[in-house]
Structure formats: structure tokens, C-alpha cells
Structure 1
Amino acid sequence: MTLVTTKHLMEDAYANGYAIGAFGVHNLEIMKAIIAGAEKANAPVILQTTSSTYKYIGMPYMVALAKAAAAQAKVPVALHLDHGESLENVMECLRSGYTSVMIDGSSLPFEDNIALVKRVVEVSKAVNVPVEAELGTIGGVEDDLKVDEASALFTNPEMAGRFVQETGIDSFAPAFGTAHGAYKIEPELQFDLLDQIRQATNIPLVMHGASGVPDASVKKAIGLGVSKVNFSTELKDLFANEIRSFFIDNPTENDPRKYFLPARAALTELVEQKIRMLQR
């Protein structure tokens, strides 16, 4: 099948109390592991990249790989831009074949954020691509995105309601206690705040920074409207650790087909576990 958009996937998840797994893609091996894990769980999946990732891979390669994966996959596959920095960034992805985009104007003043998101929605809806946006700031580090956790701001529910209504976005990423990257201690998620945001927005919500969040907390957030859950750091950590372990045992090996395979197998298992957890 061809790449699908995230719109109907997330609307169904929102209506039926589960979430779609969105996994950071950084190379072919990770992409193949994500698809294999989704197929084992028999569930749709979102491949997502930041702009720094598709620039590293090369946009033509990135889209061609995703389209080839979707064509062979036994489950629906979407290709999503995570934390798009600008309208130009979004336009590049739309022209190239991405089927979902996020515009992140959370560092801007509120009215400027709305103006940017409205413009992105306008151009994206013209080609039937759904838009995710963020209000408040989610701390931590993801690729080139760096936000000091001490300066991260929780989302104001009243402002979130106005933001969603005025922009016309399809999904909303609130700041309620998660952070990008690795957690030093278990995050204290603000579930009461998340519930207020759900009531104020009434559209699918997105949990960023889910790597390292306990399963019970993720499931509780799903019960409060979270319909897309992002994972990246856990995948990168596992992939790197598996390759390190391989070379400890096989220090002279030089065949990528051999040292990538155990890393890919481990990621497949992790992705399947995550998706099954989101479905329960």
C-alpha cells in the first residue's frame, strides 16, 4: 500500500481509546525494524523524522525508503515531520511526499505561534496532509532541538482551547511533564492538567518524550486523550548498545550485514512491545 496520512489513524485511536506508535527513523535498519515490529503487532505505525534527520539521510532517499517500506508493509504506514521549525521546512516535506507534519512554534509569542500554525494548516490542508502543533514547551534534547527543562512551560488549557480553535490543527502536543531525551528520574506527569487540556481541545493529543515513561503512565495518558505516542531515545540507545555488544564479542568483524542484524532484531522486539502496550 502507499503511505497514508495520520488523520484517520489518530481519529480512530482517539475515538476508541488507544494510541498510534510514532518512532524516530534515522537509517534503513531502524526503519525496517519499526515496520517489522508494527507488522508483528498488526497495527499501523508512524515513521517520523526531524529536519536534521532527513537532511542527514537526504530527502530523496528518506521519502523513497518510506514509500518502499509502505508498499511492502502489511500494515498502514505514515511518514511524519516531527518538530518542523518553519513554513519552509514544512513545504519541503509536503512537496517531497510526507503524509503528516508538525510545526513547532512553541518558542514564539502566543499570537505569533497561532499565525505560523494557521499558515501551515492552510498549505497542508490544500494537499490533504494533517497538521500537529505544540503549545507550551517540552523540555529536553531531540536531535537539534534543545530546551532547558527548567524553562519548559506547562500548557495552559484555556489558551490550548483557543489555539486549537483558531488554527484548525488536527492534533495537539501539550506540555504536561514529559521531556525529550533520557530521564534522570521518573517524570511527574500532570494528569489533571492533561484532562483539562483534553476537555478544552477535544482533538487527538500527542505525547512527546515517551521514552522511559512507565507503561502505566503512558496508558493513563491514553485514557485522557493521547492518541499518538512518540518514541526515539529508547530506540537509539538500544540500537547503539546492541552494536557495541556485538563488537565486544566479535572485535574483528567488518560485515555490516552481520553487526546490524542483532540490533535490528532487538529494535523489532521493542517496537512490537511498545505498540502492543499502546493498544491495551
Structure 2
Amino acid sequence: MGLVSSTPLLQEARKNGYGIVAFNVHTLEMMQAVVDAAEESRSPLILQSTVGTVKHLGMDYLVACARVAAEKATVPIALHLDHCQDFDLIVRCMRAGYTSVMIDASMHPFEENVQRTKKVVEVAKALGVNVEAELGKVGGVEDDIVVDEADALLADPLECVEFIERTGVPTLAPAIGTAHGIYKGEPNIDFHRIEEIYNRVGIPLVLHGGSGIPAEQVRRCVSLGMAKMNVATELKNAFSESIKQSFLNDPSELDPRKYMVPAKEAVKQLAKQKMELCGCFGRA
């Protein structure tokens, strides 16, 4: 069916109380594995790439691989650019074939965040591309973006309403206490804030920092209105740990086609676990 915009997928998820998992993929094998997971579980899927992965693999290669996956798949697949601050790169990705983009201007004052987001929304609307923005600051590390815990700020529900009204952004990632990377302890999620934001706005909400959140907390976040959950670090770690284990088992094995098989399987199984956790099994 080809790549689709994530906007209707996320609107459907919000309406029916489940979450769609967005996976950051860094290799062809990781992409194939999460697509296989979506096919087997009949789940809608959002493929994501960070700015660093765009630079590493190349925008055209990423789009071409995602298009082939989407054309072969029987479930809807969107391609999302995660945490981008560069307007020119966002426009180039949209023109290349990305069906969803994130403008991250959360490090700027509210007024500037509004203006930068509005600028992207205007271009994306003409191209039928979904836009995600962030309010508050999610802590942790995402590519070159580092936010100390002390600097992480939670989103204000009333500001969320004003932000959406002024920008027209179709999806919002409010900072609610999660962090990028693997948590050192229990994440301090503000569930009441999620519920209040959900009740005040009419668009899908996005949960950043989905790696390592305890299962019961993920379920609660989804039940309170999070329609999309991002998973990056856990997926990358599962892929890399499997390859490390393959070399421990047989240091002489130098054929990537051999050690990539268990690595893909590890990613696929983790992806299916996350999809089941967010309730998107059978929702394609």
C-alpha cells in the first residue's frame, strides 16, 4: 500500500484507546525485523529515524527501504523523522518521502517554539505529512540532544491547548516525566498531567522515552491517552547484544548473514512485546 501518513493512524489509536509503537531503526535488518513483527501481530507501524541515522545511512536509502517494506506489507506503515531541529532537513525529508516529521523546538521559549512549529506545519499540510512537536523538555540523550534531569521541564496543560490552537500541529509530545535512554531507577511519570492534557486537547499524544518503562506504567500511560510510544534504546541494545553473543559463541564466524539472523529475531520479539503492551495487536 506504500507509506502512509501517521496522522489517521494515531487519530484512530486515540479514539479507540490503544497506542502505536514507533521504533527507531538504524540498519536494514532492524527495519525488516520490526516490519515482520507488525505483520505477524497485525499491528500498524511507525518506522523512525533520528537525524544521526539519516546522516549515517542517507535519506534516500532510508526512504527507499521503507517504501519497499510498506509496499510489500499488508499493514499500514509510516516513516517518521524523530527530534529534528533543522527546518531545511525537515523539508528535505518530507520531499524525499517521509510521511511524518518532528520539529523539536522545545529548548526555545514558548513563543519561538510556536513560530518554528507553525512554519513546519504549513509546509507539511500541503504535502499531507504528519507533524509532531514537543512541549516541555524530555530528559536524557537523543543523538546530539542532551537534556540534564535538572533541566527537564514538564508540559503545562494550558500551554498545550494554546500551542495546538496557534500552530495547528496534529500530534504533540508533552514532557510528563519520562526520559530518553534506559532509566537508572523507576521513571517519575506524572499520570495526572497526562490525563489533564488528554482531556483538554483533541489530538493524539506521544510518549517519548519508552525504553525501560515498567509494563504496568506503559499500560497506564496508554489508557490515559498516549496514542504513540517511541522505543529506541531497548531495540538498539537487543540488536547489539545479540551480535555480541554470536561472537562469544563463535568468534570465527565472519559472515554477517549468519550473525544477523539471531539479531533480527531478537529485535522482532522485542518489537512484538512492545506492540502487545501498547494494545495495537490486530489493529491494522
Please indicate the TM-score interval, normalised by the length of the shorter structure: over 0.9
Specify the code of the residue in structure 1 equivalent to 2:210: A
- Residue 189 of structure 1 aligns with which residue? 189
1:86 is displaced (CA, Å) by: 2.2
Following superposition of structure 1 onto structure 2, how do residues 144-163 of structure 1 map, counting pairs within 5 Å? Answer: 144-163=144-163
- Residue 241 of structure 1 aligns with which residue? 241
Separation in structure 2 between the aligned mates of residue 136 and residue 158 of structure 1, nearest angstrom: 12
Task: Kindly indicate whether residue 87 of structure 2 is the aligned counterpart of residue 98 of structure 1.
Answer: no
Give the TM-score of the pair, scaled to structure 2.
0.97
- Residue 274 of structure 1 aligns with which residue? 274
Specify the code of the residue in structure 1 equivalent to 2:271: V
RMSD after superposition: 0.9
- Residue 29 of structure 2 aligns with which residue? 29
Task: Kindly indicate whether residue 179 of structure 2 is the aligned counterpart of residue 179 of structure 1.
Answer: yes
Separation in structure 2 between the aligned mates of residue 71 and residue 247 of structure 1, nearest angstrom: 34
**What do residues 140-177 of structure 1 show as CA deviations (whole Å, max 9, x unaligned)?**
01222211122100001111110011110111101111
- Residue 206 of structure 2 aligns with which residue? 206
Structure 1 unmatched ranges of 5 or more: none
Separation in structure 1 between the aligned mates of residue 88 and residue 193 of structure 2, nearest angstrom: 33
Separation in structure 2 between the aligned mates of residue 143 and residue 263 of structure 1, nearest angstrom: 22
Separation in structure 2 between the aligned mates of residue 84 and residue 60 of structure 1, nearest angstrom: 17
Separation in structure 2 between the aligned mates of residue 123 and residue 220 of structure 1, nearest angstrom: 35
Separation in structure 2 between the aligned mates of residue 141 and residue 251 of structure 1, nearest angstrom: 32
Percent of aligned pairs sharing the same letter: 49
Give the TM-score of the pair, scaled to structure 1.
0.98
How many residue pairs get aligned? The number is: 280
**What do residues 15-49 of structure 1 show as CA deviations (whole Å, max 9, x unaligned)?**
00001110001010100011011111111100001
Specify the code of the residue in structure 1 equivalent to 2:257: R
1:74 is displaced (CA, Å) by: 2.0
1:202 is displaced (CA, Å) by: 2.2
SS in 2 for 1:260: helix
Task: Kindly indicate whether residue 77 of structure 2 is the aligned counterpart of residue 77 of structure 1.
Answer: yes
- Residue 15 of structure 2 aligns with which residue? 15
Specify the code of the residue in structure 2 equivalent to 1:234: E
- Residue 6 of structure 2 aligns with which residue? 6
Specify the code of the residue in structure 1 equivalent to 2:26: H
Separation in structure 1 between the aligned mates of residue 38 and residue 186 of structure 2, nearest angstrom: 27
- Residue 216 of structure 1 aligns with which residue? 216
Task: Kindly indicate whether residue 257 of structure 2 is the aligned counterpart of residue 257 of structure 1.
Answer: yes
Separation in structure 2 between the aligned mates of residue 144 and residue 29 of structure 1, nearest angstrom: 24
Task: Kindly indicate whether residue 103 of structure 2 is the aligned counterpart of residue 110 of structure 1.
Answer: no
